[in-house]
Amino acid sequence: MSYEAHFRVWRGDAEGGELRDYQVEVNDGEVVLDIIHRLQATQAGDLAVRWNCKAGKCGSCSAEVNGRPRLMCMTRMSVFTPEETVTVTPMRTFPVVRDLVTDVSFNYDKARQVPAFVPPKGVAAGEYRMRQVDVERSQEFRKCIECFLCQDTCHVVRDHEENKTSFAGPRFLMRIAELDMHPLDAAAEVGLTRSSSAQEDHGLGYCNITKCCTEVCPEHIKITDNALIPLKERAVDRKYDPLVWLGNKIRRR
Ligand code: SF4
Ligand code: F3S
Ligand code: FES
């Protein structure tokens, strides 16, 4: 079945913009990105859109469809009725470059601020051994395609530009959790306690576990339950651990 859909697409740049209306052909089996491409090919040759794989794996085509953060290539047109207006806007949390393309460098800055895995001493790379259960735990977090939809949706930064300097966002707090749970990470040997650092340096305390990040993750990673809540528990355990408290007290003398 083919029909003409009513699309409203945000057009503009960093200076400002507006929603523009288009009638575009839709065919069976198509996704929102197909329609955006048809729009580009037939009516709006200069429409800027970032995409790459069209298979939900590169994380490039993130945008907001009817106000919901989504991958355009994984949003089937069949979820809308033919009468429905489909509104496509750029991710709201990041500055617009042009049309549907945003500047996501906030995320790269945050990635750089997370200290890398610290290799254990005396074990050569290639000789690391871990229990399968530990491998599987971090495997879930490793499915991340860096679409930044979770970063876009989290209310801590979505409407609060002022929080951006102190909050790493769910994707990078999850990265800290992954490293903190890694049995071979030797961060402690270089004086780094990842859970405490998440709290003190990366804004873990801003997260009030609303789980909106988990809801929009296209890889269905349980960001809140499996990464953020355990990380919070570890940070609190450490803070109120009487032995740690005593150690800190003695060290301060
Ligand atoms: Fe995207 Fe999920 Fe990774 Fe967040 S955790 S960047 S939503 S894949
Ligand atoms: Fe934000 Fe996710 Fe926490 S949406 S508040 S990081 S649970
Ligand atoms: Fe790669 Fe959509 S184009 S995730």
Asked whether 170 and 207 are in contact (CB, 8 A), the reply is yes
Whether residues 135 and 13 share a domain: the answer is no
Give the confidence band of 125 by pLDDT, cuts at 50, 70, 90: confident
162-183 exposure pattern, b = at least 16 Cβ within 10 A, e = fewer: ebbeebbbbbbbbbbbbbbbbe
Greatest Cα-to-Cα distance within the chain, rounded to the nearest angstrom: 77
Q: Which amino acid is at 215?
A: E
Whether residues 92 and 121 share a domain: the answer is no
Domain boundary residue among 77, 101, 125?
A: 101
Task: Provide the CATH number for the domain around residue 44.
Answer: 3.10.20.30
Asked whether 17 and 96 are in contact (CB, 8 A), the reply is yes
**Closest Cα to atom 7 of ligand 1:** 217
Task: Provide the CATH number for the domain around residue 112.
Answer: 1.10.1060.10
The reply to whether ligand 1 has any atom less than 6 angstroms from the CB of 227 is no
Token pair of 150 as six digits: 């979770």
For residue 144, what is the enclosing H or E element?
none
Report the separation in Å between the CA atom of 144 and the middle of ligand 2, taken as the mean of its atom positions: 16
Q: Checking DSSP bridges between strand 85-89 and strand 3-13, what pairing results, if any? A: parallel
Whether residues 153 and 234 share a domain: the answer is yes
**Closest Cα to atom 1 of ligand 1:** 147
Asked whether 148 and 217 are in contact (CB, 8 A), the reply is no
C-alpha 247: how far from chain center: 37
Atom of ligand 1 at shortest range from CA of 146: 6
Model confidence at 252: pLDDT above 80: no
4 vs 25: CA distance, rounded Å: 4
Whether residues 141 and 244 share a domain: the answer is yes
146 vs 230: CA distance, rounded Å: 21
Whether residues 64 and 123 share a domain: the answer is no
Which residue did the predictor score with more confidence, 253 or 87?
Answer: 87
Domain that holds residue 42: 2-101
Pocket test for ligand 2, best of 155, 157, 176, 228 (most atoms within 8 A of CB): 228
Pocket test for ligand 3, best of 40, 61, 75 (most atoms within 8 A of CB): 61
**42-74 per-position pLDDT tens digit:** 999 999 999 999 999 999 999 999 999 999 999
Give the confidence band of 237 by pLDDT, cuts at 50, 70, 90: confident
pLDDT of residue 247: 63
158 vs 175: CA distance, rounded Å: 20
Whether residues 219 and 119 share a domain: the answer is yes
Whether residues 73 and 92 share a domain: the answer is yes
**Closest Cα to atom 3 of ligand 3:** 54
The reply to whether ligand 1 has any atom less than 6 angstroms from the CB of 91 is no
Report the separation in Å between the CA atom of 111 and the middle of ligand 3, taken as the mean of its atom positions: 21
pLDDT of residue 249: 64
Q: Which amino acid is at 59?
A: G
Report the separation in Å between the CA atom of 149 and the middle of ligand 2, taken as the mean of its atom positions: 12
Whether residues 242 and 142 share a domain: the answer is yes
Which residue, 211, 212, 182, 210, is CA-closest to 114? Answer: 182
Which residue, 36, 38, 154, is CA-closest to 99? Answer: 36
Report the separation in Å between the CA atom of 187 and the middle of ligand 2, taken as the mean of its atom positions: 25
Domain boundary residue among 101, 118, 153?
A: 101
Whether residues 112 and 91 share a domain: the answer is no
Whether residues 163 and 210 share a domain: the answer is yes
**166-189 per-position pLDDT tens digit:** 999 999 999 999 999 999 999 999
Whether residues 6 and 32 share a domain: the answer is yes
Atom of ligand 3 at shortest range from CA of 53: 1
Q: Checking DSSP bridges between strand 96-98 and strand 16-26, what pairing results, if any? A: unpaired
Whether residues 66 and 11 share a domain: the answer is yes
Give the confidence band of 243 by pLDDT, cuts at 50, 70, 90: low
Report the separation in Å between the CA atom of 15 and the middle of ligand 2, taken as the mean of its atom positions: 30
Model confidence at 11: pLDDT above 80: yes
Share of the chain above pLDDT 70, in %: 94
DSSP classification of residue 126:
T
Domain boundary residue among 62, 80, 101?
A: 101
Number of folded domains in the chain?
2
